[in-house]
Chains A and B, each alone.
Chain A
Amino acid sequence: MKYLIPAALAAVAALGLAAPASATGKMTCSVPQKSWKSQDALRAALTKQGWKVTKSKVDGGCYEVYGTDPQGNKVEAYFNPATFEKLLVSRRGKILYKAPAGHKH
């Protein structure tokens, strides 16, 4: 029995190395995928506007970007994947910008 414990610990440690990913529900977009532009195009457009993009991915059908906005805030931001409209900018849960309600995304 006691020899099993380090083995069990190793198994737990191995589990810890796998990172799951899933939709967070912070923002959802329902844009047909064939109208999406690439994430690279979004990164390029944002860089031009003064953003520094650390990472981008898809979340809830939107493009989610981590980086520094033109004002110098480290933020998490959501964009419409077809129009690149800015939908939500937040910093650790604090909303810094939200697109006006009624916008279709």
Chain B
Amino acid sequence: MEAVLRIWNGKPFLWTLLAVPGFLYLYRFWTGTIPMDLVPPPGEMSARLIIFALMLTPLSMLFRGQRWIAWLIRRRRAFGVTGFAYALLHLLFYALDMETLDNILAEIGAPGIWTGWGALLLFLPLALTSNDASMRALKKGWKRLQRLAYPAAVLMILHWVLIHDGMAEALLHAAPLAALEFYRLIHLARDRSWRGHRSQPI
């Protein structure tokens, strides 16, 4: 039992678990599902993981000191990076479905399309620097860079809202993050004004 828990709690297990849907999508492709039908699933999985990763900071403010949130925050990289990997898989199936570069370029100006490209491009440097070496090299700049995740997430959600009949699902997925960010803003504003009323440091 002890050993099972150790594996369950180990980081490799989480990465593997998060990768499982990806292997299922590839299996479906292998067994004849057309690329067109495989474009949405990894895109949605990507959004879910990225939204989840972004929810962790405001959640930790809401559930300060709880062990489970600390457990999740230690694993945030797994959610963010696998989220980006699903975006790449989404792009791969999209490219296979579109067949030619001309087809891709022909629709790149559509609001539902360029927002997706924009999100992907903004997330790219974040994924590339999601490792300890980059954190050490970039020092304080790392955190500033990673804040690009917020505009990127907005573009990602817009992409989902605008593309192919996805509005209801997109908004449903974005709602918890939006609510938490709203809480975070109120929390920060209250914290600041509360501090402002005190002349003595605590």
Q: Which residues of A contact B (CB under 8 A)?
A: 1-3, 5-6, 9-10, 12-13, 16-17, 19-20, 24, 54-55, 66, 68, 72-74, 91-94
**Interface residues in chain B, defined as those with a beta carbon under 8 Å from any beta carbon in chain A:** 5, 8-9, 13-14, 17-18, 20-21, 24, 34, 36-37, 40-41, 44-45, 48, 67-68, 71-72, 97-99, 102-103, 106-107, 110-113, 162-165, 169
Residues of B within 8 A of A54 (CB): 34, 36, 97
A55–B99 alpha-carbon span in the complex (Å): 15
Query: Do residues B71 and A2 form an inter-chain contact, with CB atoms below 8 A?
Result: yes
Contact between A92 and B113, CB atoms less than 8 A apart:
yes
**Max chain B C-beta neighbours (<10 A), residue from A9, A20, A55, A66:** A9
Query: How far apart sit A66 and B39, CA to CA, in the bound complex (Å)?
Result: 14
Report whether B68 and A5 are in contact in the complex, using a CB–CB cutoff of 8 Å: yes
Among A10, A19, A74, A94, find the residue whose CB has the most chain B CB atoms closer than 10 A: A74
> CA–CA, A67 to B107, complex, Å?
14
On whether A55 and B36 interact (CB within 8 A), knowing A17-B41, A19-B41, A92-B112, the answer reads yes
Known A1-B68, A6-B17, A16-B45; contact A94-B110, beta-carbon cutoff 8 A: yes
Inter-chain contact B24/A17, CB cutoff 8 Å:
yes
Q: A51 vs B111: C-alpha distance in the bound complex, in angstroms?
A: 26
Are B14's CB and A92's CB within 8 A? no
